[in-house]
Amino acid sequence: MHGASNNGKPLRKRIKDIRRQELAEATLLTLQEFGVNGTTVQRVSERAGMSHGLVHHYFRTKADLLEAGVRLTNARITAEVLALLERAKTPRQRIAAVIEGNFAPSLFTREIAQAWASCSGEAAFNESFARVMRMIYRRLMSNLLWDLKKVLPPQEAVVVAQGVAMMIDGAWLRRALESGQFTREQAMKPIWIFLEANLPKEAGE
């Protein structure tokens, strides 16, 4: 077997994937440190340990690079939520998993929140960012609704889900802007108050 077929892909393809992954990772970290505005191709390439020319070899444009970075963040959140969801059984446990996942200690850091806020701000004027942010929101909503609809009438479920989603977004924004501590406990407390008040007493048990 001479060199070919790692995972059924030719070596060249593999390198391409690896480099793109590395660059997405570097972009993600640069976004955390400098925000969308301060994320230059130069800085990303430096963090990735490549020449800046190479970046354009793998990403046609800076926008593409940024999108890759944001998608990676997205993937991380997804993974966190999925891991928690796996162990959850009842609707209430599953709802708890979604919320816990969105405030996982490894995620709910000031740096990530800042990057997230920066991307959200950019999304208002940048369709490619907007797409990703909307996707994140839709998955959150769908996760919440899936279980809420099991214990609440549909229309009520939608309102509750929206309320929770609003609180989650608001909490992340607060995390980004509050230089002092805004802890995940502080963030989750009103969310649970809101939920407890709306879930049927025996809900999902």
Site for DNA in 2-41 (CB under 7 A): 11-12, 15-16, 19, 38-41
10 Å CB burial of residue 116 (0-12, 13-18, 19+) is buried
Whole-angstrom Cα distance, residue 121 to residue 204? 37
Minimum CB distance to DNA, residue 4 (Å): 11
Question: Restricting to residues 98-157, which ones interact with DNA according to CB under 7 A?
Answer: none
Closest CA to 161 of 175, 179, 146: 146
Q: Reduced to 3 states, what is the DSSP secondary structure of residue 6?
A: strand
Q: Which of 77, 81, 140, 167 touches its own copies by CB under 8 A?
A: 167
Q: Which residues have a Cβ under 8 Å from the Cβ of 199 and sit 6 or more positions away?
A: 92, 151, 152
- Segment near its own copies (CB under 8 A); pick from 53-61, 63-71, 83-91, 127-135: 127-135
Q: Which residues bind its own copies (CB under 8 A)?
A: 34-38, 113-115, 117-125, 130, 133-134, 137, 159-160, 162-163, 165-171, 173-174, 176-179, 186-187, 189-191, 193-194, 197-198
